[in-house]
Structure 1
Amino acid sequence: MGELFRLLKGGNKPSLLAAVVNTIIAILKGGAFFFTGNVAMFAEMMHSIGDAANQFFVYIGSSLSKKAPTPRFPNGFGRLVNLVCLGAVIIVGILSYETIIEGWHHIQHPTESTGVAITLSVLAIAIILEFAVLYKAGKEILHEVGIKGTAFSPLTTSFTHLKRAKPATKLVFMEDLVATAGGILAFVAVLISHFTGFLQAEGIASIMIGIMMFYVVGKVFLDNARGALGETDEQMLTHIAHIVSENPHVKDIQKLEVIKEGEYLHVEIIIEIDPQYSFAEVDDIQDKIKELILNQQGVTDITISFDEDDGIRTWTEHRDQRTVLKTRD
């Protein structure tokens, strides 16, 4: 039990915050829907329930993924967070479908909602809370990639670096981006329905919210499916190849893999060196290269092997040769 609490303490904080906030929002929206019967509010309630469930699962998954390797699972549990995210999106997919169906029914059989003031008040509170979580997730993305910015950077620069964010943080950011946009859309739909009498506006908003939820499902599913299979981090691979090649003892890189293991990176490299080096010298070279690579952001595990230099350039087919290939005397 003590280990479980220790692991939970190290879980992804943005996902935990988002789960708690979305649970509160879901309760508020559920109460508003119960009293008003507003279809747009129903869509938002379903959205918040899905987000809350998703983010609770993701928080638990991100916590358990930090569990140390065991004899039964020697490669560790890093990819567990990807598997949890894959399961979590199924919940959102089901709720997305229900949201679209409910919206379609309302378009076909529009009914006037009551309690507009309650609906708008709850939506306004939800938008503010969702925006706060979105901003927090944006700050976490910048922190994870090691970038400092202005007060607006979490809402601007974070989009540029979204791909390099941890799976859990990325999911929270995307879900709350859609949740904030969906809340604004529902707010506008309620205003249109109330002041123009175009009751179908709420149903249209519900369908649009459901479609946005499906987009998140597809995006998160593909990202985490690649992570579960073991995706190469191309940017970090290029960077590591570059810094290793700068070591004067390295003659060539025979093999280099940088695989995403959930929130972390596993590096496996085979380096060619002069066969005249002694064992002690090779050990010193290994220690220096290992320390260098482990100091790179996200790298937690590395396997280094050595082979004698065969005089043949092996590392010549990387996508960005300018950062890898070095001419040596």
Structure 2
Amino acid sequence: MSAGGGTKAIVAALVANLGIAVTKFVAFALTGSSSMLAESIHSVADSGNQGLLLVGGRRARRAATPRHPFGYGRERYIYAFIVAIVLFSVGGLFALYEAYHKWHDPEPIDSWQWVPVVVLVVAIVLESFSFRTAIVESRAVKGRATWTQFIRRAKAPELPVVLLEDLGALVGLVLALVGVGMTLITGDGLWDAAGTAAIGVLLVAIAVILALETKSLLLGEGATDEDVAAIERAIVAGPEVAGIVHMKTLHLGPEELLVAVKVAVRHDESAADVARGIDAVEARVRAAVPIARVIYVEPALVPAAAAAG
């Protein structure tokens, strides 16, 4: 995933959420609707999350240091995990608390009744443009994978995070519109509380999904099956290597892969021949998988009998 594509989607979502948050707060101030308050906090949380993703992307570009010799690429995973925590606590738990409070003290919407409906409809339109941007940017990198596979397997966290946030925002707006609309129709504030509770459950569910997927990235994921196969083909493509003894890969960041491989070389080769062969293997691997930037190749001698066989 290109960093540029992810940044474009993040900025689009940030601009949309900042504008939406202001209008939602105004609607809440005029009507006292708990669904509007929950959606206002949701938009604030989303805006903060997109700011965190931008900060994480910027910090991840720092050069390697003696203390961090492999660089800071995985810092993007840390900020994505913080996003999940913010969405869970600030967005989901607050909405559930507000729903609990409103359920025990339901109030109809008596003033400015048209405001929340107009605000929610406009917010749905704006959020749809943000969601469309995320979809377009994601399609450019997801290939033939399904959307579920893309979210679960993507090594760059920004687009999956924005996709889930925008999807949650759209569904949350619809839930808020149903809650507010039914409250206006029936005069029963319990509908508003129910809509708020549904928004809270939705945000908590999305936060849990993001946390689980980001945790896997933080622990360290290997290369995709496609990249592993390409690396293996590149290693054995030349005459320098008799075979692969074992190989391990690890993502140091979304666009930086570590490859550690032990290869079998013939027993009658000189040290200079082995060194030239390792250089050739590294060059082929980098050509096959450009994100393989850190490569360690360890030679192992093939016994004479095995080589003869």
TM-score (norm: length of structure 1) = 0.81
Q: Identify the residue that residue 14 of structure 2 maps to in structure 1.
A: 19
The Cα RMSD (Å) is 2.7
| Residue pair 1:190, 1:202 contacting (<8 A) in 2 also | yes
Q: Does 1:83 align with 2:74?
A: no
| Residue pair 2:258, 2:294 contacting (<8 A) in 1 also | yes
One-letter amino acid of the structure 1 residue matched with residue 108 of structure 2: E
Alignment of 1:97-116 (within 5 A): 97-113=93-109, 114-116=111-113
Per the TM alignment, residue 261 of structure 1 is displaced from its structure 2 partner at its CA by: 2.4
| Residue pair 2:227, 2:289 contacting (<8 A) in 1 also | no
| Residue pair 1:15, 1:59 contacting (<8 A) in 2 also | yes
Q: Identify the residue that residue 203 of structure 2 maps to in structure 1.
A: 213
In structure 2, what is the Cα distance between the partners aligned to 1:292 and 1:175?
A: 39
Q: Identify the residue that residue 50 of structure 1 maps to in structure 2.
A: 45
Q: Identify the residue that residue 140 of structure 1 maps to in structure 2.
A: 137
CA shift in 2, pair 1:256/1:194, >3 Å: same
CA shift in 2, pair 1:28/1:64, >3 Å: same
The size of the alignment, in residue pairs, is 298
Higher relative contact order (CA 8 A, sep 6+): 2
In structure 2, what is the Cα distance between the partners aligned to 1:303 and 1:297?
A: 11
In structure 2, what is the Cα distance between the partners aligned to 1:258 and 1:28?
A: 48
Q: Identify the residue that residue 305 of structure 1 maps to in structure 2.
A: 297
Q: Identify the residue that residue 3 of structure 1 maps to in structure 2.
A: none
CA shift in 2, pair 1:135/1:164, >3 Å: farther
| Residue pair 2:6, 2:158 contacting (<8 A) in 1 also | no
One-letter amino acid of the structure 2 residue matched with residue 186 of structure 1: A
| Residue pair 1:237, 1:256 contacting (<8 A) in 2 also | no
Q: What secondary structure, in the 3-state scheme, does the structure 1 residue paired with 2:302 have?
A: coil
In structure 1, what is the Cα distance between the partners aligned to 2:289 and 2:54?
A: 21
Per the TM alignment, residue 281 of structure 1 is displaced from its structure 2 partner at its CA by: 4.5
Unaligned runs of 5+ in 2: 304-308
Per the TM alignment, residue 180 of structure 1 is displaced from its structure 2 partner at its CA by: 0.9
Taking only the aligned residue pairs, the percentage that are identical comes to 25
One-letter amino acid of the structure 2 residue matched with residue 21 of structure 1: A
Q: Does 1:158 align with 2:183?
A: no
TM-score (norm: length of structure 2) = 0.85
Q: Identify the residue that residue 191 of structure 1 maps to in structure 2.
A: 181
One-letter amino acid of the structure 2 residue matched with residue 41 of structure 1: M
| Residue pair 2:262, 2:300 contacting (<8 A) in 1 also | no
In structure 2, what is the Cα distance between the partners aligned to 1:269 and 1:24?
A: 51
Which moves more between the two structures, 175-184 or 196-205? 196-205
Per the TM alignment, residue 287 of structure 1 is displaced from its structure 2 partner at its CA by: 4.1
Q: Identify the residue that residue 281 of structure 2 maps to in structure 1.
A: 289
In structure 2, what is the Cα distance between the partners aligned to 1:188 and 1:131?
A: 18
Q: Identify the residue that residue 252 of structure 2 maps to in structure 1.
A: 261
Per the TM alignment, residue 222 of structure 1 is displaced from its structure 2 partner at its CA by: 1.9
| Residue pair 2:235, 2:285 contacting (<8 A) in 1 also | no
Q: Does 1:129 align with 2:118?
A: no
One-letter amino acid of the structure 2 residue matched with residue 276 of structure 1: D
CA shift in 2, pair 1:88/1:280, >3 Å: same
Q: Identify the residue that residue 272 of structure 1 maps to in structure 2.
A: 264
Pick from 221, 230, 234: which aligns with 1:244?
A: 234
